[in-house]
Amino acid sequence: MAIYLGDSGYIQIKRKGLNTAMAGNLAPDDVSVTRSRFSFNFEPGSITTGDRLIIRTVDKSDLELVAGHTGADGAWYAHVDEVGGIRLFGTFDGAVNDRDADALPLVRPTKDQEIEVHTRDLDYQCLAQVSAYELTTSRETVDISTLGEEFRTNYANGMISGQGQLSCFWEYQAHICDESTLGKEFADYLARLVIRTQQGANFDGRFFIKRPTVQDPDSGVWHEATCIITNVALSFEPSQFITANVQFVTTGPIRLKVGTVPGILLQENGSILLQETRDAIDLE
């Protein structure tokens, strides 16, 4: 009988998109070409560093924003500064690190443009500095003694729900997370997520019991569920590590999976291969 020793809390999360698109006006004066920075009239807090933005023009004309880009829309990762300025990057890691050399060059629009902005991410990122987590699943018991036979099949099993909490050292800047090639999410994102106004505090999560290895990629064991953050507590004490304790509940089904962690099918140039529905094609 094999006994496994927990090494570190390993969690992957995927950001959820905005419930509705944000509409705004992009004027020529809103774009700073020298700083590769722009802004528009969006609700503060609705866009967070690392969000993958899909920006399109309302009238389907060419989007005048990123140098060399053609077409009515485009998708890039965003870095948002303290005053709401946005810089665009081609990768998640580039947006989190905010290196000047990685920022995409911008062009000054020739006229005002009415734009729509969606947030949508296709990738899971590992959550940095996790020290521990727990996930509890429970089944609601339902009294079916008073129900007729017609309804018993619908109510006999009850509803499966889950809740949990995770602890991690406070982190808000780029740092080494793992040897994995995935990007890195920080506790700072979860704290911002719970106070968003135009988006629910939800994310897709993978909670690993046993991580797969390069030598044995089929050995992974993990729970997978969509979660809503209900509470974020920051613990601060002089001379001690600052920690974040996050509580959440699950929505929808909870799955316990074993084997190879799914990936996303890529083209030879590294871009994502999409279905006709514009969704990514998952690898089994």
Collapse the DSSP code of 4 into the 3-class scheme (helix H, G, I; strand E, B; otherwise coil) and give the result.
Answer: coil
Residue type, 236: F
88 and 217 assigned to the same domain = no
Percent of the chain exceeding pLDDT 90 equals: 18
Give the model's pLDDT for residue 270. Answer: 38
Sign of CA dihedral 214, 215, 219, 221: negative
Give the model's pLDDT for residue 180. Answer: 44
8 Å CB contact between 233 and 39: no
Is the residue at 5 inside a domain? no
- Structural domain of 96: 22-119
Transcribe 14-52 into DSSP letters.
EEPPPSS-EEEEE-GGGEETTTTEE--S--TTSS-TT-E
Distance CA 224, CA 207 (A): 6
Domain-ending residue, one of 119, 151, 170 = 119
Report the range of poorest mean pLDDT among 76-90, 121-135, 188-202: 188-202
136 and 274 assigned to the same domain = yes
235, 238, 241, 244 alpha-carbon torsion, rounded to 10°: 10
Report the range of poorest mean pLDDT among 13-22, 131-140, 271-280: 271-280
Cα 194 to the center of its chain, rounded Å: 13
What is the average pLDDT value for the chain, to the nearest integer?
77
For the cut 60, the answer to whether the pLDDT of residue 26 exceeds it is yes
Distance CA 272, CA 52 (A): 14
Give the model's pLDDT for residue 150. Answer: 54
For the cut 90, the answer to whether the pLDDT of residue 259 exceeds it is no
Give the model's pLDDT for residue 29. Answer: 92
For the cut 60, the answer to whether the pLDDT of residue 177 exceeds it is no
Q: How many structural domains does the chain have?
A: 2
Domain-ending residue, one of 119, 142, 166 = 119
For the cut 90, the answer to whether the pLDDT of residue 106 exceeds it is yes
3-class DSSP string for 214-271: CCCCCCEEEEEEEEEEEEEEEECCCCCCCEEEEEEEEEEEEEEEEECCCEECECCCCC
Greater pLDDT, 35 or 274: 35
Report the range of poorest mean pLDDT among 11-25, 30-44, 85-99, 261-275: 261-275
Give the model's pLDDT for residue 265. Answer: 44
Transcribe 129-168 into DSSP letters.
TEEEEEEEEEE-----TTS-HHHHHHHSS--EEEEEEEEE
155 and 274 assigned to the same domain = yes
134 and 98 assigned to the same domain = no
For the cut 90, the answer to whether the pLDDT of residue 108 exceeds it is yes
225 and 136 assigned to the same domain = yes
Is the residue at 246 inside a domain? yes
Read off the tokens for 206: 């993978």
193 and 239 assigned to the same domain = yes
Greater pLDDT, 171 or 261: 261
Please indicate, yes or no, whether the overall pTM of this predicted structure exceeds 0.75: no
100 and 231 assigned to the same domain = no
160 and 74 assigned to the same domain = no
Domain-ending residue, one of 119, 142, 172 = 119
Is the residue at 65 inside a domain? yes
For the cut 80, the answer to whether the pLDDT of residue 161 exceeds it is no
Q: What is the mean pLDDT of residues 88-111?
A: 88
Is the residue at 2 inside a domain? no
Q: What is the mean pLDDT of residues 170-195?
A: 60
Collapse the DSSP code of 173 into the 3-class scheme (helix H, G, I; strand E, B; otherwise coil) and give the result.
Answer: coil
Query: Residue 26: CA atoms inside 13 Å, Cβ hemisphere, count?
Result: 28
Give the model's pLDDT for residue 159. Answer: 62
Collapse the DSSP code of 193 into the 3-class scheme (helix H, G, I; strand E, B; otherwise coil) and give the result.
Answer: helix
Confidence bin at 183 (pLDDT 50/70/90): low
Query: Residue 275: CA atoms inside 13 Å, Cβ hemisphere, count?
Result: 8
CATH number (domain holding residue 184): 2.30.110
Distance CA 178, CA 176 (A): 6
- Listed in sequence order, the residues at least 6 apart from 127 whose beta carbon sits closer than 8 Å to its beta carbon are 11, 12, 13, 166, 168, 177, 184, 185, 186, 187
101 and 132 assigned to the same domain = no
Distance CA 179, CA 68 (A): 34
For the cut 70, the answer to whether the pLDDT of residue 279 exceeds it is no
8 Å CB contact between 179 and 152: no
148 and 55 assigned to the same domain = no
- Interval 37-92: pLDDT, tens: 999 888 777 788 888 889 999 999 999 999 999 899 999 999 988 888 999 999 88
For the cut 50, the answer to whether the pLDDT of residue 275 exceeds it is no
- Listed in sequence order, the residues at least 6 apart from 71 whose beta carbon sits closer than 8 Å to its beta carbon are 62, 63
Which neighbouring-strand residues pair with 283? Answer: 263
For the cut 80, the answer to whether the pLDDT of residue 135 exceeds it is yes
165 and 279 assigned to the same domain = yes
Q: What is the mean pLDDT of residues 141-164?
A: 62
Give the model's pLDDT for residue 114. Answer: 92
112 and 80 assigned to the same domain = yes
Is the residue at 4 inside a domain? no
